[in-house]
Amino acid sequence: MSFSARYLVAPLLGAVLFAGCSKSEYTPEIPTVAPVAQQIAAAGFPEGFETGTKTAYTTGSVTLGSGSWTLNDALIGNTTSDRKTGTQSARVRNTGSLATNFDLTTGAGVVTVQHALYGSDASSQWELWASQNGGTFIKKGVTITTSSTALSTASINVNLTGTVRLQIRKTSGGTNRLNFDNITVEQYGGTTTPPPVAGDNQHLTMGNPSGAAANISMTTNYLLDKPQYALSYHRDRGTPTWVSWHLDASWRGTAARQDDFRADNTLPAGWYQVQGTSYSGSGFDRGHNCPSADRTSTVADNSATFLMTNMIPQAPSNNQITWAALENYSRTLMDQGNELYIIMGVYGRGGTGSAGYFETIDQGRIQVPARVWKVIVVLPVGNNDVSRVSTATRIIAIDTPNQQGLTSNWGQYRTSVDAIEAATGLDVLSALPTSVQQAVEAQVDNGPTT
């Protein structure tokens, strides 16, 4: 379960953990990252399968924009049932694969892949594998489940220096077919490392789900580590991918709700700053990740929750009813003598607010997510928190659609951490020992909801 991302969005694709945003929707001028992006483009990426022809599933090589690839039980599809952003995409069936026949000579950091179901086919799973010697391949990241006919973007941490070859392997689903499109590769020199695992009562104590770091080149996985919460910011979506925070009695007090929604001026120079008014008229709430009511110890702490880097476009009933009920319950757990580690995030593209369905708002600068998820680790107040997580620890994971008509019964949306990781490509509780992760992340909570 490894997803430690160092992202760079190449031209024509907004990489995501979840769903891609076309660069035609938002193309800010950012001189500090353009040189690297140009180098990636010069190397032939993103690979959109727009050049080259292969019409049969039999194994064979085809020359694409990035170089020669071997397609096994795969072809280049251009029918109306092929999911694509241009005129073509790769189509894979059975346990077929897409593999580079050339070396990436500047390493591979994060690889992003858009994926969707072909036609009306059923769900299938796939994996990314990588090799530094052209022969021995190792799996990178988690096994990803494709279950939508809309292209979604998986971001997978490879983090290999030197020469690298890549393979996309379909691993399940039999004759059900998958489409792959718009593959990007970030250069990797091995010089950028994520922050170390935090100690007790820190916002990243349970891990850094995407390996975010405060590095200007990480435009879609930029770490903002604030006193009140930590988050991975996605510049091209205008929202956080995830926000993580610790909650205990020390964060609660008498400070009033500030309601001072505003841009976050701590973002790198040249990045578009979402404004407090950017959601106006969209039909979506400025939905908090870290809630205002979780930060009432001081006015400054409460005010920090109103930065727009802590917001997502959230359907009003999802925000005001379902999530409000879960947030209130979380504080009830805290009042019962517990401390909580909470990670919240989004994935997918397109939601339905009070004004209808939208995929973006603010003239395409902000992507509307399709799903909103949260993971809550509940521990009695104590020390050495990571070591105290066991199979007896209550972990609540929920995954909701970003749409109207939801109720306060958040319990109906409970799922496993494994399922959230499969949908997002994240490693949500990465600080836990692998054996503990495997045990607790497979469980679905069945505890009380009020």
Label residue 153 by pLDDT band (50, 70, 90). Answer: confident
Which token pair is 419?
């399922």
pTM of the predicted model as reported, rounded to 2 decimal places: 0.64
* Cβ atoms < 10 Å from Cβ of 30: 16
CB 333 within 8 A of CB 341: no
Average pLDDT, the chain: 88
Residue 11 in this model has a pLDDT that exceeds 60:
no
Q: Domains (ranges, CATH) in the chain?
A: 34-185 (2.60.120.260), 222-440 (3.40.570.10)
CB 179 within 8 A of CB 153: no
Residue 40 in this model has a pLDDT that exceeds 80:
no
Site of tokens 């190397």: 43
pLDDT of the residue at 141: 81
- Rounded Cα distance, 418 and 156, in Å: 16
Which token pair is 385?
């928190």
CB 398 within 8 A of CB 326: yes
* Cβ atoms < 10 Å from Cβ of 239: 26
- Rounded Cα distance, 231 and 99, in Å: 34
Label residue 198 by pLDDT band (50, 70, 90). Answer: low
pLDDT of the residue at 134: 81
Label residue 187 by pLDDT band (50, 70, 90). Answer: confident
Q: Which amino acid is at 186?
A: E
Weakest-pLDDT range from 8-22, 291-305, 317-331, 398-412: 8-22
Label residue 108 by pLDDT band (50, 70, 90). Answer: confident
Residue 43 in this model has a pLDDT that exceeds 60:
no
| 338 or 30, higher pLDDT | 338
Give the H or E element holding residue 162. none
Give the H or E element holding residue 111. strand 108-117
446: annotated binding-site residue? no
Which residues does the annotation mark as catalytic? 288
Label residue 252 by pLDDT band (50, 70, 90). Answer: very high
Which token pair is 309?
């880097």
Residue 106 in this model has a pLDDT that exceeds 50:
yes
CB 377 within 8 A of CB 340: yes
CA atoms within 13 A on the CB side of 113: 28
- Rounded Cα distance, 83 and 110, in Å: 23
Weakest-pLDDT range from 39-53, 84-98, 346-360: 39-53
Cis check for the bond before 46: say yes or no (omega within 30 of 0): yes
pLDDT in tens, 364-417: 999 999 999 999 999 999 999 999 999 999 999 999 999 999 999 999 999 999
- Rounded Cα distance, 186 and 164, in Å: 12
With CA atoms as reference, report the closest residue to 339 among 417, 408, 268, 248.
Answer: 248
Residue 302, classed as helix, strand or coil, is: helix
